Amino acid sequence: MLTYASEHADSPEIPVAKMQLFVRGQEPHVVDVTGEETVGQLRAQLCALEGLAADEARLSVGGVALADDVLVNSIQAEVELDVGLLGGEWRAAAVWDGRRRLGVAAAGE
């Protein structure tokens, strides 16, 4: 868990605002943050919880990757922890127009 120091840490009258982030990874996590952290700091914390190397994972919202310099307090939705997968195969597929073969295109085009 990340710890945070305030410039008024010795003053009990000033509470540090916290929020909870719900993160879907291999297991769901609830992370308490102040909102002043960056996505890069959150990703490092979650990778430690999941036992992953920080460069293997990315945080995304709705399938869109979040940049490391985005502040956590700007995230208004559920965050997903994604891990890149190795592999993938490119294969040629014939393109047909009714009765004739037009050429070869990459699969998925």
Tokens of 80: 């997903």
pLDDT digits (tens, 9 = 90+) for 61-77: 888 888 999 898 887 77
Q: Considering the entire predicted model, what is its pTM?
A: 0.59
CATH number, domain of 13, equals 3.10.20.90
pLDDT at 104 over 60: no
Contacts of 61 (CB under 8 A, 6+ apart): 75, 77, 78, 79, 80
Q: How many domains does the chain have?
A: 1
Element (H, E) at 49: helix 39-50
Q: Domain range spanning residue 45?
A: 1-109
- Whole-angstrom CA distances from 17 to 8, 23, 77, 89 are 13, 19, 19, 48
Residue found under tokens 């208004």: 76
Q: For 75-89, what is each residue's pLDDT tens digit?
A: 777 778 888 777 666
